[in-house]
Amino acid sequence: MGKKRVGMIVSILLVGGALGYLALGNFGENVVYFFTPSEVKAFSTDYYRKKVRVGGMVVEGSMETYPDRLGLTFQLTDGEATIPVTFEGIPPDLFKEGQGAVVEGYWTGEQRFESNLIMAKHSEDYMPIELKRAGVELPRKDFMKSLVE
Amino acid sequence: MTIHRVIRKVQRFEGWFGGSAVLCLIAGLYLGLIGSPPDYYQGEVVRIMYIHVPLAHTALLAYIVLTIGSLWYLWKRDPIVDNMCQAVAGLSAVFTALALGTGMIWGKPTWDTWWTWDARLTSFTVLLLILIGYLMLRTFVDDPEKEARYGAILAIVGFVDLPIIHFSVEWWRTLHQPQSISMRGVSISSGLLVPLLFMSVGMSLLFSYMLMVRTQLLYLDRLLHAKKGRLLSQFHLSKSDS
Amino acid sequence: MTNLHIRWGGVCIVAIVLIVLTYDHYRDNLASLAPQQVRQEAPKGDIRVLGMVQGGTLETRGAGEATFALLGEHASLPVHYEGPPPDNLRELKILVLIGTWNVGAQVFEARDIGIVPNYGFIAGAYLLGLLPLALLLFAMTRRVHFLYDEIKASKLYEEE
């Protein structure tokens, strides 16, 4: 009987905890899943050395690699502000100029974002390459608009 | 009408669901794996969408059925409706877990991460926790009537997570992309849309069929236990009489 | 052989046919050579080479022409690409090139860019998505048949 009671309480706590987490707890932080470059630029010094995520569009023509080691630098923009990002390693397969990316790392005092993880953000439109080359645009929510809000 | 006849009826007509589910899934799998072009940006990995999206939407559909069933149970107190709720909760948990699993497999080659705590992924995980909690609650309450009532209340409360899941990609900044099919229009070209539709319809039919089978299973299980219990008590009674 | 077994046998046959058809469809895309193999073996005719576009080497000329170095683990190949616009080409991208190895000029002449062999993810997702559902359904159907038979056999259920 006691075991059943414990089980019942555990199950209620599980659901209650999950819903509570959703309502107030950590979910609040996850709602701001990433900052925009504008917000990053306005960071106070408290944020330096604090691990954050930044999302934006990789600026066309801004990607530069090193000839001697794996890594790259590029600019990330939200349409208003642009920040330089450095990354060591191989970027994800879908990482591309003119596409969205979310980077994780640190905003340094030198006004540069040192990232150790790049996640490629793909949009919700899907089509074969022939249509893309023909310049077909599918109706979609503009990625930049979703950033600036 | 006896339950026996209801089950006969369901059995006669569930075959249509099972059969059409298999046909839709065969068409969807053929089109999705072979008959459709790769995506301009993602390449071949886009094919994971045809399995991931139907699983995820069926998981949500299952939870909607659970909520309606729970309301219906609280209103009518019909035990077979409760059997249906219990069946659909189990299936919803399975579909939710598989949607999360296939999503992780899709995330690795596209985002380059298996998991991240963005609003969509977090709220979907919360759904799985709610369903696990629901199923645990049902195993730990002894009185069948209380078990059904508590479960129904819990399921109805948990429904708040559904709009959060749906709108998470619109309300908040997420890594997960927004809905492709919405009021704004459809942002999937026809060649990639057709396999998705076949898989989605097929998965919903498969879920309906599984729900019928599982409801029957739980009902028969209970029937057998009840009958056995009654027979046993009759046996004890006759023994004590003699 | 019951009705149940015949039906599930049919499902298994369909599944096997689909797997064979899919494998056959992608078979040609699965194999590829590494840059050092190309250098050592100098294969003739059309080949597929897997490597990464080396940083700082990509130069594009017009829409459908580019030169770069394709980096493998132990060697790299100079590549001259001429073909459809390479939409997703960039430095540090891992890709498969389709073309011929020009032994005289020591240049790989690529005419198309294949897709990174990430079919494992696709196969994994489909197996993870469908196999548990099929097993669960099979187990449930069998249990229903079993319960039904038991209720009938033990005369626990009286026809009303």
Q: What is the CATH number of the domain that holds A92?
A: 2.40.50.140
Residue B11 or A103, more confident: A103
For residue B231, how far is the Cα from the chain centroid?
Answer: 36
Nearest CB partner across the interface for C125, out of B34, B105, B220: B105
A26 plus A41 within the same structural domain: no
Phi, psi for C104 (deg, rounded to 5): -60, -50
* The pLDDT value given to residue A149: 40
Average pLDDT in chain C: 88
Best of B7, B45, B198 to substitute, by most chain C Cβ atoms within 10 angstroms, is: B45
Q: Is the pLDDT of residue A104 over 70?
A: yes
| Same-domain check for residues A61 and A124 | yes
Rounded average pLDDT over C142-159: 77
Are both A5 and A73 inside the same structural domain?
Answer: no
pLDDT at B238: 60
pTM for the model? 0.89
When pLDDT is averaged across residues B203-227 and rounded to a whole number, the result is 90
Confidence of residue B225 (pLDDT cuts 50, 70, 90): confident
How close B136 comes to chain C (CA, Å)?
19
**Does residue A38 share a domain with residue A16?**
no
Please check whether residues A120 and A67 belong to one and the same domain: yes
Interface of A with B in 61-90 (CB under 8 A): none
Tell whether A25 and A45 lie within a shared domain.
no
Q: Do A32 and B172 touch (CB under 8 A)?
A: yes
Backbone torsions φ then ψ of B195, nearest 5 degrees: -60, -35
How far, in Å, CA of B4 to CA of C124, rounded? 42
Chain center to CA of C54 = 24
Q: Which residues of B touch A92 (CB under 8 A)?
A: 110-112
The complex's ipTM works out to: 0.88
Q: Are residues A27 and A78 both part of a single domain?
A: no
CB contact under 8 A, A129 and C87: yes
Domain match, A9 and A72 both: no
pLDDT at C110: 92
More confident residue, A54 or C87: A54
What is the least distance, in Å, from the CA of C40 to any CA of chain B? 31
What would the pLDDT profile of B62-88 be if each residue is shown by its tens digit? 999 999 999 999 998 888 889 999 999
**Whole-number percent of chain B with pLDDT over 90:** 54
Record: contact A90-C94, CB cut-off 8 A: yes
Q: Where in chain C is the domain with CATH 2.40.50.140?
A: 33-114
A81 with A143, same domain: the answer is yes
- Determine the distance in angstroms separating the CA of A74 from the nearest CA of chain C, rounded to an integer: 12
C92 in contact with A, Cβ within 8 Å: yes
Cβ <8 Å between A126 and B187: yes
Q: A29 to chain C nearest CA, in Å?
A: 30
* Same domain, residue pair A14 and A71: no
Bridge-based pairing of strands B185-186 and A64-65 is unpaired
SS3 per-residue string spanning B74-110: HHHCCHHHHHHHHHHHHHHHHHHHHHHHHHHHHHHHH
Report residue A21's pLDDT band, with 50, 70 and 90 as the boundaries.
confident
**Model pLDDT for residues B124-175, shown as the tens digit of each residue:** 999 999 999 999 888 888 888 889 999 999 999 999 889 988 888 888 888 8
The reply to whether CATH 3.40.50.970 applies to domain C33-114 is no
Q: Which domain holds residue A94?
A: 33-148
Task: Choose between B4 and C144: higher pLDDT.
Answer: C144
Residue B230 has pLDDT above 90, yes or no: no
Residues A45 and A60 in one domain: yes
Q: Do residues A86 and A123 both lie within one domain?
A: yes
Question: CA A26 from chain center: how many Å?
Answer: 17
Residue B49: what pLDDT? Answer: 95
> Quick check: C56 and A67 CB within 8 A?
yes
Q: Is B141 on the interface with C (CB under 8 A)?
A: no
Contact A86, A114 (CB under 8 A): yes
Indicate the length of chain A as a whole number.
149
Q: Which residue has the higher pLDDT, B91 or A15?
A: B91
Phi then psi dihedrals of residue C108, to 5 deg: -90, 120
Lowest mean pLDDT among A53-67, B90-104, B119-133, B225-239: B225-239
Residue B212, CA distances (Å) to B85, B152, B205, C142 in order: 11, 19, 11, 14
Do A121 and B142 make contact, defined as CB atoms within 8 angstroms? no
* Residue of higher predicted confidence among C7 and B91: B91
Here the tokens at position B23 are 């046909």
pLDDT tens, position by position, B16-75: 999 999 999 999 999 999 999 988 888 899 999 999 999 999 999 999 999 999 999 999
